[in-house]
Structure 1
């Protein structure tokens, strides 16, 4: 994708109102619902009005949204953006392969400039796909220099971001107490407003000594939320949840990523303390953290948001996240019914709920629902127009929520606004130098490949294929077919 031309960029000068005309508007606001043939007016950084045939100020730029779906910007609550520099490298990994690569062998080789490169490309990818708010679960921050590089990249892109500060190679109860960590927060986060916020990212191993206690105390002292990989098979478990609960560190702002292999007791603790879950269905299905848990989270009334995890496997495509989540939930519902020799007659999880999780659910998880997550007058104008007149997939438009989840894709994202600013229009990013990101990532790939060496590079990308033991077939179909063929030829 090339940089948009100056003529197109000039169409959206700063401060000029923008109105979307004649869209199917999914407001995600119960007071408005779905507005067929609707208009949405944006003035400055806010949604000014929602309705039909709106009167607008002189000089307003009109965007024809006919045959399109206008919805709030999507929110990804957990993505390791720095790993995008090795996009697709781990397509055939398991979670063990992932841990071996980043935690045990090669995570230490990445430099601050590699964090910058991955974050820059990931941030461009997010806004291009209609993800207007992304949590950068940045656990590659070995030193403050790495953190500065991560923020430099995020600030270079017109998106809304949350830096989830982490260091997979360090002890969180140590690096959160370092003076330079406090100084970083003061320098790079404080006073940045709603476009850049911060969480503290670390995992709780279940060690009875609870060494993570110091990191939770630091988060409390800095008034920062904690995001943690919880309920990950073989890594984090119910003991970690119990320790958090007993020490008073489970709060409404805590985000539990995956939460796939927890007991009812742990889910009840999360629900009782007002916590939120971030579900990465593609990741959970592929990597083995556990079965995507939305069917359990719904049962315990735990608020849900969606996330993509990492582009070393997958992408920033929240359309895929919605689809995978709905598929997994319904599949589990069918399987549970079949165990009882029953048939599911009605689907409990609907497309509308999944779209809600991808938008307002994410905003609620991040404590941002007062100003993003729905198309409500007075909220920030983070908007996505799904419209593609050249695609046979975009008509007929009968069930708008179902269309978003099962029919549309990232290639159908026509226009994106973040904080009232047009960052993509007519399927092209506006005012973004994608070539610079490509150059930075190319240098990281070259460096990593050289540093690892060709053998380690190839073995890491292509882990040994597991052998499957064949089951004896008492009917011997293959041999019977061959014997029949031999008899015919004889």
Structure 2
């Protein structure tokens, strides 16, 4: 049953088949031309050519499009999306000051809810089918419950990375209140919402964070931690974790931008993975994006957007920035030695893998997510736009996803077998109620911190800078020629 002209078909949980797509499987099958993918219930039931399908199957014509696995963001402070773009001119220290020192305490549970709802809706809209909410604004259990309620209100796949940046992780992770919240909220086998612990190791004497790692082990959940952030989380933290034996394949290290060779080796030896947030690292100053180190040490890598207080959730932009930063590093280092790069070490295929199966590996779901294969969860994105000049011709699908496609080219998004976006339109997910909720939270924060602080926070002052003296200047113009003089 094909989709009728002029609108979305009535999917109603029926089987679904994508016809005649360029399928980027991110699996051993590679790229399949003119292929079909059949979805039954929440699973990929078949991949092949001219598939026979059950009666009543909805058919989507994917001709001229690329079908890829749903993208996976392994580190996003979703609650901060209600302050979208506010910190566009911040350095990292200004981010820390605003949230950690000055104004973090003004965010109520309803503000966490508003930010998470907006960010979750944006994930669905942009083909990010799984997002790890690095939710470090959970000052109370009420804040945590608000975060969960928001994530469950949007039909995406989410991981709540529970954290509290104003509290000590060795205290909140071992408290009776948190344990009770975790057990009652995540007791069922819900693949759409799972739990991790999100906290940092800052190198304090005695390594008190060890208790939080033990709490994660007792709960049977993974850990995400910022590592290699300039001036904040250093090699000392890696040394402490390694010495305590808490570095395992269930720990994901975010940024990893300023670590020593020994620290990268410890992460690799213990099976850890890394989440690279290239646009964040390039703008905020955590350090140079680390893929050039991670690939040399064989550390599994994923991508993340970090926070919309600076930028949005466009994963095509994340892939493009990551490939560009890695290649820039190679070129600059080679040219410093008077050499020329003759082959790029990082390929477009690699960053597409970072954005999909790499993310699945980072959250421990590579057996069910991250690639298009029979038996895996049906989290799929059709990139197809018949009116976009950038979508024709498609010669190299890997490079096309990275360098040509954009969020405006997302035609269909399927999450857990459910079609949540079709023909570029979300299904049953209007923006208006989310927008109104966010507006109320923005007004609360603005009123709470005061107009002067609000304006200063958005426009941080620049230190005085001196221009470099220039000995060259134009002296005169006689109408026919310019006479130039230079001062020694």
Q: In the alignment, which residue of structure 2 is the partner of 1:242?
A: 239
For residue 11 of structure 1, what is the aligned residue in structure 2? Answer: 10
Alignment deviations for residues 84-120 of structure 1 (CA, whole Å, 9 cap, x no partner): 0010101111001100100000111000000000000
Answer yes or no: is 1:422 the counterpart of 2:400: no
Q: Note if 1:483 corresponds to 2:479.
A: no
| CA contact 1:9–1:431 (8 Å) conserved in 2 | no
Corresponding residue SS for 1:55: coil
Contact 1:163 1:199 in 2 (8 A): yes
1:465 shift after superposition:
2.3
Check if 1:49 corresponds to 2:46.
yes
Counterpart CA distance in 1 for 2:213 and 2:189 is: 23
Structure 1 counterpart of 2:388: 391
Q: 1:331-410 counterparts in 2 under 5 A?
A: 331-410=328-407
1:42/1:48 contact within 8 Å kept: yes
Alignment-derived partner of residue 261 in structure 2: 264
2:24 to 23, 26, 34: 26
Question: 2:486 corresponds to which residue?
Answer: none
Aligned to 2:206: 209
- Structural mapping, 1:89-488, within 5 Å: 89-474=86-471, 476-477=472-473, 480=474, 482-484=475-477
Give the C-alpha shift of residue 487 in structure 1: 10
How far is the alpha carbon of 1:177 from its aligned partner?
Answer: 1.3
Greater helix proportion: 1
- State the alpha-carbon separation in 2 of the partners of residues 210 and 34 from structure 1: 47
Q: For residues 157 and 17 of structure 1, do their structure 2 counterparts lie closer, same or farther at Cα, with a shift above 3 Å needed?
A: same
The CA distance in 2 between the partners of 1:254 and 1:133, in whole Å, is: 18
8 Å contact 2:8–2:422 — kept in the other structure? no
Q: Deviations for 1:130-170, whole angstroms, at most 9, x for unmatched residues?
A: 00000000000000000000000000010000000000110
Which shifted more, 433-442 or 235-244? 433-442
Cα separation, 1, equivalents of 2:306 and 2:30:
30
Output the TM-score relative to the length of structure 2: 0.96
Residue aligned with 1:369, SS: coil
- TM-score, normalising length: structure 1: 0.95
Structure 2: tracts of 5 or more residues without a match: 1-5, 483-488
Regions of 4+ moved over 4 Å: 7-10, 485-489
Q: How far did 1:304 drift?
A: 0.3
State the 1:180 CA deviation. 1.0
Pairwise CA distance, 1:486: 9.6
> Could you tell me whether the CA contact under 8 Å between 2:67 and 2:382 is conserved in 1?
yes
Structure 1 unpaired stretches of 5+: 1-6
| Equivalent pairs, count | 478
- CA deviation map 1:325-376 (0-9, x unaligned): 0000000011111122110000110000110110001001111010110000
Does structure 1 conserve the Cα–Cα contact (< 8 Å) formed by 2:9 and 2:58? no
